[in-house]
Structure 1
Amino acid sequence: MCNSFKFTESNWKENGIFLEDYLNQLSFPMDSYIEDHLEGAKVYTVLRDEEPIGFAATHKETLWFFYIRRDHVKVAQEAFEAFIKAKEIKGVYFQTSDTLLVSLTCDWEFEKFKGAYFFIDGKRVDKPNIKAENPEFKLAKNQDIPLILEKTGKFFDKLEERVSNETIFMLMEDGELLGCGIIEYGRYFKDCCSIGMITCKDHRQKGVGQYILWNLKEFCYNKELKPIAGCWYYNPLSKKTLEAVGMISVARGMNAKLLEREVIPLKPMDS
């Protein structure tokens, strides 16, 4: 039977039931980076013989999210290939927690580009040491914005909004900014909170990053939230710092530049 697939532009509201099932199938919660891309993606509804069976979501020529209803998964390979060709998709960004998208991508020949480590909380740890006599960890206020900009540059987007929402923290010592932390409440995984930090250039190698992340984790515990995080694959210092405060990496983010779909002969090849 030859299937007929269509891909109509839509939105997440129109795919609400599919999105809920998709999120429930993930083996690892999305951090804020992935949530941002989910919300900013161009969304398509996947139709098989005019019946909605799933969704696809892209950023330019890269496919980020792909879901097919369980009762139609047997045509997922065919639908995936049809979408790739119809929308002239050049690559796929996948999280290893998204087993269907990983599997469908692996059916193709592709060039792999490592993207990110994703972390969950492995354990609660003791407060780390820091080379500072009187460290003060506090919420950033509006009057702190000029100092944060001076010391961290463009690290934080929407800084004023984040400060207003009480999601930016500062580590100070005697009026000197040592570093900043950030939390981002989960929009889809409501019980999770993404954490991150930046150490000011003059205060590296002092334990500042660990101290900030430890405090952010404690903040999450007090709110009965699960801390999660992500970092660039080629930033071993960030990975080491996250691991030092009890975070463990159980998922990866990968970019796959698609080459061609492997064609399997109907008749098994002689061994």
Structure 2
Amino acid sequence: MSGFTRSSQLSPLLRRQYLASLEEPQEWFLEELVGLGQVWTHEDGSYGVTNEKTLVEFFSADPTNAEKLLHDFWGQHCFSTALVKSYDYDFVRSCENLGWTSSVGGFLFRKRKPRGQAAFDGAEIRSTTPTDVHVIWQINDNFFDNEDEVANLAVSNKLWTVTVDGEIAGCGVSNRVIKKSDAVDVGMMVASKFRRRGLGTYIVSEIADRIEREGLRPICGCGASNLASKATLEKAGFVSDHQLLSFTP
């Protein structure tokens, strides 16, 4: 067999091996892309996952051969972009050695500094009920793709409704990235009329505090151009030592 061939699913054993090779937890944004992507495997156990014209994951069990395999994979599939976590060192090194151009596409927050309990006058956070779903979708501003996504998060107890003086003002999301990992991805959305008042910081802080009290690890990320979100996460105590890199062959 030559090159990479299409596979119906990703080997759980290889996936565990890949995730164990990472210094930090998997990014939820990429995990979603992987779940919707196409899997390509090599006879030596290497694999790549593409989502349309983007390479979203690449792993070689033999790092000494990773660069050549990545080059061969690109030659076979001609993807236009490779999204790489900065702590996926073998993947980063292979892209750099191939001379691919990189830019920062996002900030990945994997640390959180201790901080005092957050507060926001009149604000409450509770589990989302079915009657909240449509209201949250109505105040959505490109945070969710569709109302079904809101409903599914609510049913799986991953969505938190945020009210201010009884009015739904936004929501928070707490999503376990990998089932057996302690990492829980945190996100939030605030209705336009409640922005720039510190509510986003309150939501992220409160949800992260709850996750930590359960002995789990809150993580998060944001796009490089979303400076408002970056500032909110930093005010909630999160620290970014890593980035989501975009490499162009």
Task: Calculate the TM-score normalised by the size of structure 1.
Answer: 0.84
Q: Once the two structures are aligned, what percentage of the paired residues are identical?
A: 22
- The question of 1:53 aligning with 2:53 is answered no
AA paired with 2:190? T
- The question of 1:31 aligning with 2:27 is answered yes
Aligned match of 2:40: 44
Paired residues for 1:187-266 under 5 Å: 187=178, 190-258=181-249
AA paired with 2:207? L
- More strand by percentage: 1
Asked if structure 2 preserves the Cα contact closer than 8 Å seen for 1:129 and 1:207, the reply is no
RMSD: 1.9
Q: Single out whichever of 223-232 and 162-171 deviates more from structure 2.
A: 162-171
User: Please, which of 83, 86, 104 is the counterpart of residue 96 of structure 1?
Assistant: 86
Name the CA distance, whole Å, in 2 between partners of 1:69 and 1:199.
43
Task: Calculate the TM-score normalised by the size of structure 2.
Answer: 0.91
The CA deviation string for residues 186-224 of structure 1, in whole angstroms up to 9 with x for no partner, is: 225521110000111111121101110111112212332
Name the CA distance, whole Å, in 2 between partners of 1:173 and 1:63.
42
The number of equivalent residue pairs is 246
Name the CA distance, whole Å, in 2 between partners of 1:173 and 1:91.
42
Asked if structure 1 preserves the Cα contact closer than 8 Å seen for 2:126 and 2:162, the reply is yes
> Any unmatched runs of 5+ in structure 2?
none
Q: 1:188 to 1:105 in 2, by over 3 A?
A: farther
CA shift for structure 1 position 11: 4.2
Aligned match of 2:77: 87
CA shift for structure 1 position 253: 0.8
CA shift for structure 1 position 38: 1.9
Paired residues for 1:167-206 under 5 Å: 167-187=158-178, 190-206=181-197
Aligned match of 2:15: 19
- The question of 1:10 aligning with 2:1 is answered no
Asked if structure 2 preserves the Cα contact closer than 8 Å seen for 1:162 and 1:168, the reply is yes
Name the CA distance, whole Å, in 2 between partners of 1:194 and 1:27.
16
User: Please, which of 138, 144, 151 is the counterpart of residue 126 of structure 2?
Assistant: 138
Name the CA distance, whole Å, in 2 between partners of 1:142 and 1:23.
35
> Any unmatched runs of 5+ in structure 1?
259-271
SS of 2:193's equivalent in the other structure is helix
Name the CA distance, whole Å, in 2 between partners of 1:146 and 1:53.
45
* Larger radius of gyration between Structure 1 and Structure 2: 1
SS of 1:6's equivalent in the other structure is coil
Asked if structure 1 preserves the Cα contact closer than 8 Å seen for 2:67 and 2:95, the reply is no
